[in-house]
Structure 1
Amino acid sequence: MAVTKNDTQTPILMPTIKDRRSRVAMQRLKWGLFFLSPWFIGLLTFQLLPIIFTFFLSFTNYSATKEFAFGNFDFVGLSNYARLFSDPDILNSMGVTIKYTLIAVPLGLVVPLLFALLVNSRHLIAPNIFRTLFFLPTVIPVVAGVLVFQGVLNSQSGWINGLLKIFGIEGPRWLSDPMWAIPALNLLSLWAIGNLMLIYLGALQSVPTELYEAATLDGAGGVRRFFFITIPMISPVIFYNVVLSVINAFQFFVAALLIGGRNGDPQGSTMFYNLYFYRQAFVFNDMGYASTLALLLFVIVMILTTLLFRFGQRSVYYAGGEA
């Protein structure tokens, strides 16, 4: 009878346990979605819907001077996209952006790494103070940082030209000479490298010390240890910073607007691509064409990011092998 009793109870108990586990899993899923809902709402409201709306506007001739209503604009099909191929200002503004990027990306990789190596040095006194000082400019608003740099780079009273004058070098007109405007903005971009420095610092501190000790026993000097141990071990972080720096460089806008104004002064040398489609949207009020320009930038950045992941990761070392 005991065996029969167990046989009759087992089919009854097993579904009950499964149902209980299923209810617990469903309850956890509901609470997880509840706590994630603010992020989903933000993503939908501030990213996905604006992208969809921008795509919609790119097929219209909507002007920002009119109220958005279906009677205030016409659908123009692909005419805005066809206009891209006949607009010479696109190539000019993209050339300015690429010129800035070619300088900003190497600076954004090397300078934060040097600061991270300094802070990570065992011979540095009070490294926490230096870490704070290097990161502090990051929390300062861009507008305030630009105002400070306008004083620093002033051709008459700026301390950089004053320092050059001590050595008998006549400093350039940083903000009024078209040849020096982009290098000046590249110097300005170093204002907020504290984030990259902290990322590098975390990577440096994660490198096993046993590797350095073994290399030292084998007779490797500091330079060889840096290039054959440090660089390979932090290469994933370097690759991440490359991607981040390229994206940020193509989105460079606020400082360019504050330094060069809406006309990209001096003489259009700071007319970045973002500034160009900003002018189309808010100076000429051509929201349809500005939306097309914004989508073009989105496609360009996506292609560059894809190429970086496709070809750049070949030189990245991971603990489990090369990517």
Structure 2
Amino acid sequence: MVEQYNTSFNLEAEHYLSAKKLEEARRSGVKLIGADYDGTLYDKKEPPYDDHLRVIRLVDEVSRADVDFAIISARNTTLHVPFRELASAYSQEAGRPLTLWTSGGNGMNLSRVTFSAEGQKVEPIFTNFITPDQAELIVFIFDQMFHELGIEPDARNVAFFKAFLDRDLPEDLVPRPHRQLVERYGGRYFAEAVKVTTVLPTSKEQQAECIGYLRQRLEGFGFNIGWGGIAFADVSRRMLDANGKPIDGKVLVLETILARSNFAREQVTTFGDAPNGNDMGLLGFPKSFTNAQSFNKNGLESPPFMLKIKDSPVGTIHEAIRYLTS
């Protein structure tokens, strides 16, 4: 086994090699861009990259270069609802259709979505579906957790979910039984086709306590507990291969697209901001790039390759994608 090292001790070499690898990827030709969303294509704290429309324009540029684009996000409904609304308006104003692959819940679903003057066409490819009964069980455990630990969820994020439930939510993202289940909880929980989310307390210490509680009680039922160090915890069904080993959802998304499109692995270029987190599989492809500046990997020549940050981390990703497809 190759001994891992931390890239922060080798920045100059990492940045040099990344530029070289990006040029090689451009010369060899790209047929598919696969990218994480938050922290990669979008950042609500980093203007001007706090605008979904900027991402939509980038997707359109890539599409017009005859390259497919796949957005593979941890978020699902809370991203795809506003994104679809904006993409529909953009397509109509531009006077041309826009097609892309979309995935949420860290690879728990995959759709091919086309926006045009006729409206939206959503072609579901796969969904790692949580049944209404499973959603009921998860919500029951959430309720038990707050009661037994004697804590309350963050009020601001509860208000966010409560307001979101007032929107027109597509059935492919939020089936009616799932919506009816959580409406009675006033925004504490949010159930989607592929995951059920609880708002956590504001305190990091209490958040960690909640995650420990949920893992102890739900992992035995075949669920994954997702937590990014923020006041939300996502519960999704664990995906296993034929040998019973866990499947990385983001990898499954890309492999599914490659198989359906008859692309080779060498024709996909991927981008993410969490190489030691939920983008690990996504950034394991041969032509993978990250805006993270400190992470562990197997060696200098191993992906992902570290982009040198220019104006901003997300802006650096946008620039790299434009360079690849120009």
TM over 0.5: no
User: Aligning the two structures, in what range does the TM-score lie when normalised by the shorter sequence?
Assistant: under 0.3
Query: So what's the TM-score if we normalise by structure 1?
Result: 0.27
TM-score scaled by length of structure 2: 0.27
Higher strand share goes to which structure? 2
